[in-house]
Amino acid sequence: MRFLFFTLAVLFFSPLLCADGIDYTVEIQGVKDRALVRKMRSVSQLFQLKRRQASSLSALHFRAEADLPDIKKLLHSLGYFEAQVFFKFEEREREIGVQIVIDLGPLYTLGNYTLRLYTDGKVNLLLNKKLSLKSIGIAANQPALSSKILEAELKALERLALFSYPLAKILKRSVIADGDTKKVDVTLTINTGPYARFGPLLIKGLTTTRRRLIEKKLDWKQGEPYKSLLVTATQDSLVKTGLFTSVLISHEERLNDEGLLPMRVEVTESKHHSLNVGVSYQTFFGPGLTFGWENRNISGMGRKLSIQGDATKRSHSGLATLFLPDFYKRGQNYIWQAQAMHEAITAYSQRTYNLVTRLERQFGRRFSSAAALKLERLLVTGSVNNGAFLLFEVPLYARWSTANSVLNPTRGKTLDVRIVPTLSVDAVRTYYLEQEMRFSSYLPLFDNPNCILAQKVTLGSIISPKLHLVPVPKRFFGGSEDDLRGYKYKTVSPLTKSGKPIGGRSAVFYSLEMRLRLGKWIGLVPFFDVGNVYATQFPAFDGKWAKSLGLGVRYFSFIGPIRLDVGFPLNRRKGVDPRYRILVSIGQAF
C-alpha cells in the first residue's frame, strides 16, 4: 500500500523531478500541546534537514519515512500507545508542503505498580514496607511515561542505598499495556544484595595532600551501616576544600571476607598556589587595584595562608590571613589576621592597624557563629572628633541562612547578627556596645528563577552614654556599596553646620531589588534604597528619610555575577551628593 502511495505521489509531482532540488515546508497537525510539538520537531529529520533541499521527491519521501519510527517511539514513551502517524504532500508553486498528521489516540495511565524485593532469594517484607511508591515518584493514574518508569527504577536503587543496600540490582522489569482499560501495569523485581557496612578505605590520587585530611572529612566510620547520604556529604566536603579539581567516591561490587564493603576515594589535586589581580571602580574611590597571593595547602592539611592588597586613590590596605580548617573539631575553623589600612573619605581620614583571632563554627547546614578577639590601633584625623585610640573588641557573629547561594541567591532567607563589645583603653577608658542585624529574603516571582524579588532590612545601634565617646570610623554612615546607593560615600548621617558628616549611633536601611535574568549571561536589576542615620542610641524613625533609585546590570560569569550599579539620590543635598554614583563588584549587592 505504501509503495502504491509513493508511486502515485511521484507521478503527481513529476514536473518537480527535473529541478536541481526541492524546497519544502513542514507542519504538524492534530497536536495542540506546544511542548509535544517541540519534542516531535526535535526528533524529525523533516524539520532538522529543512534548510537542505531534498535532491528529489523520492529523497523527500524517504525523509518522511525515516521520521515514522522516531515519532512513534516518542509518542509511545509519552503514553500514547495507539498513536497513528500519516504524511500528506501538497504541490505548491515553488515548493512542496509536507504535513505530519497525528492521531494521538487515548493517553494510557499507570495501573498497578508492583515492587518485588528479594534478599538472599527471599522476599524482604520489611524493605517492601519502607520503599513506598510515593518515595520513588509513582502515583496512581498518572500518565504512563517511559521516563517516569525508568526514573522510578533509579530512585528505587537510590532509596535502597539509603537503607544500606548499595549493591541492589534490577532483575526484571515487566510492562504490560491493556488496550481495553488503557492502563499500564508495571512489575519491578529487584535483588537487594546483602546488607552493607562501610569497610576499609583506599585513597588514590594524592600528591602533596596528606591522607589524614581525607580521613578527617569522612562522614562515616568503618563498621557503620552504609548510607549513601554520608557518601554524598563527604564528597561535597572534599570539593569545598578547593584542593581538588575532581572527587569520586565509589565502592567495590562485593563485600570482603569480613562482610564489609571496601570504599574508594579517587581525587585529582588542583594547584595550591595562586596569584590574583583584579580591578574595581566606584565614583567616589575611582579605579582600584586588587592583588594577592595564596597557598591553600600548607603542611598538606588544607591550611591557607593568603596576603591581599587593595589600592584606590582614597584608600589602600594590606591583609594577611592564616586559616586553619577543622580546628580541633570538624566544622570548626580558626582564623588569624593582621591588617593595616588607610582611608581618606569625606567624614574622616583613618589609619588603622589591627590583629584579629577568630573561631568559627558551623552547626548543621543553616546556622553558623563566630567569636573573635580584636586589638586595634586607630588614628583619626579630618573628622569632627580626631584622636588616637587603642581599642579592644570582642566581635560576636551569628548567621541563619536558607539562601541557595552566596554570590547569587535566588531563593531563601538570611539573618545576620553582629554584636561588638568594645573597650577603648586610652587616657580615659570608655566602653560601648555595637549591635547590627540584617535580614535578607529572595523570592522567585511566579516560581520563575529568572525573576527574583530581593529585599534587605538593616537595623543598627551603638549603646554609649555619649556620641563623642565612639570613634568616628566606628559610627554608622549611610551611602555604602549596598545601602543608599547614589549618595556620596558614607555621608548620610547628621551633619555639622558646615556640612561635615558626624556619624550616628543608630541606623535603619531598606533595599528592594527586582533581579531580572534576560539570558545566560545578562541581567537587569532596578533597585530602590531608603534609610536614615540618627545620633540617638536607637532609631527614632522620624525626620526626612534618604531615598535612592537606580538600575544595575549583571554579567553572569563563571566566578559569579559581575555587578555594575548606577544609583541616583532622590533627596540630593546640594554641595554634598553627586548626581549619580557608579559601583562595580563581584556578586549581588546582598
Angstrom CA distances, 199 to 18, 168, 191, 248, 492, stand at: 74, 17, 21, 17, 62
Note the pLDDT of residue 427: 67
pLDDT digits (tens, 9 = 90+) for 466-478: 999 999 999 999 9
Specify whether the CB–CB gap between 376 and 393 falls below 8 A: yes
Question: Which residues are CB-neighbours of 92 under 8 A, at least 6 positions away?
Answer: none
* Rounded-to-integer distance, Cα 59 and Cα 65, Å: 10
pLDDT digits (tens, 9 = 90+) for 206-250: 999 999 999 999 999 999 999 999 999 999 999 999 999 999 999
CATH topology of domain 197-269: Ubiquitin-like (UB roll) (3.10.20)
Strands 315-324 and 349-363: unpaired
Q: Closest Cα partner for 196 from 119, 137, 136, 130?
A: 119
197-269 matches 326-481+530-542 in fold: no
β-sheet bridge partners, residue 508 = 459, 532
- How does residue 83 score in pLDDT terms, banded at 50, 70 and 90? very high
β-sheet bridge partners, residue 452 = 444, 515
Note the pLDDT of residue 54: 82
β-sheet bridge partners, residue 169 = 191
pLDDT higher than 50, residue 4: no
Note the pLDDT of residue 61: 86
pLDDT higher than 70, residue 43: yes
Apex 514 CA angle, 509 and 519, nearest 5: 145
Strand order in the sheet with 244-251: 198-204, 261-269, 244-251
Note the pLDDT of residue 317: 96
| Cell of residue 325, nine digits | 580548617
- How does residue 8 score in pLDDT terms, banded at 50, 70 and 90? very low
Residues 359-375 have a mean pLDDT of 95
Residues 80-104 have a mean pLDDT of 90
The percentage of the chain sitting over the pLDDT mark of 90, rounded to a whole number, equals 75
Task: Tell me what the pLDDT averaged over the chain comes to.
Answer: 91
Q: Closest Cα partner for 10 from 65, 46, 67, 58?
A: 58
Note the pLDDT of residue 12: 44
Question: Which residues are CB-neighbours of 356 under 8 A, at least 6 positions away?
Answer: 335, 336, 337, 338, 339, 372, 373, 374
Domain boundaries, the chain: 24-103, 109-191, 197-269, 326-481+530-542
Angstrom CA distances, 45 to 32, 59, 103, stand at: 21, 12, 20
pLDDT higher than 50, residue 3: no
Specify whether the CB–CB gap between 70 and 46 falls below 8 A: no
Q: What is the DSSP string of 208-257?
A: SS-HHHHHHH-S--TTSBP-HHHHHHHHHHHHHTTSEEEEEEEE-SS--T
How many helices and strands, by DSSP H and E, does the chain display?
8, 27
Could you say which of 3.40.50.1400, 3.20.20.20, 3.10.20.310, 3.10.105.10 is the CATH number of the domain covering 109-191? 3.10.20.310
Strands 169-178 and 122-123: unpaired
Question: Which residues are CB-neighbours of 232 under 8 A, at least 6 positions away?
Answer: none
The percentage of the chain sitting over the pLDDT mark of 70, rounded to a whole number, equals 96
Apex 568 CA angle, 544 and 546, nearest 5: 15
pLDDT digits (tens, 9 = 90+) for 390-408: 999 999 999 999 999 988 9
* Rounded-to-integer distance, Cα 40 and Cα 67, Å: 9
pLDDT higher than 60, residue 120: yes
Note the pLDDT of residue 19: 46
Note the pLDDT of residue 559: 84
- How does residue 9 score in pLDDT terms, banded at 50, 70 and 90? very low
CATH topology of domain 326-481+530-542: Porin (2.40.160)
Could you give the count of Cα atoms lying within 13 Å of 294 in the half-sphere of its Cβ?
Answer: 20
Note the pLDDT of residue 195: 95
Residues 567-575 have a mean pLDDT of 92
- How does residue 171 score in pLDDT terms, banded at 50, 70 and 90? very high
Note the pLDDT of residue 56: 83
pLDDT higher than 80, residue 5: no
Note the pLDDT of residue 399: 98
β-sheet bridge partners, residue 412 = 442
- How does residue 20 score in pLDDT terms, banded at 50, 70 and 90? low
Residues 107-119 have a mean pLDDT of 92
Alpha-carbon 438 to chain mean position? 21
CATH topology of domain 24-103: Ubiquitin-like (UB roll) (3.10.20)
pLDDT digits (tens, 9 = 90+) for 511-562: 999 999 998 999 999 999 999 999 999 998 888 899 999 999 999 998 889 9
Q: Residue 174 corresponds to which amino acid?
A: S
Specify whether the CB–CB gap between 292 and 273 falls below 8 A: no
Residue with cell string 520563575: 448
User: What is the pTM (predicted TM-score) of this model?
Assistant: 0.75
Residues 457-462 have a mean pLDDT of 98
pLDDT digits (tens, 9 = 90+) for 494-508: 999 888 999 999 999
What is the length of the chain? Answer: 590
* Rounded-to-integer distance, Cα 30 and Cα 38, Å: 14
Specify whether the CB–CB gap between 431 and 423 falls below 8 A: yes
Residues 271-300 have a mean pLDDT of 89
pLDDT digits (tens, 9 = 90+) for 180-208: 999 999 999 999 999 999 999 999 999 99
- How does residue 16 score in pLDDT terms, banded at 50, 70 and 90? very low
pLDDT digits (tens, 9 = 90+) for 346-355: 999 999 999 9
Q: Where are the beta strands (DSSP E) in 445-521?
A: 451-463, 506-517
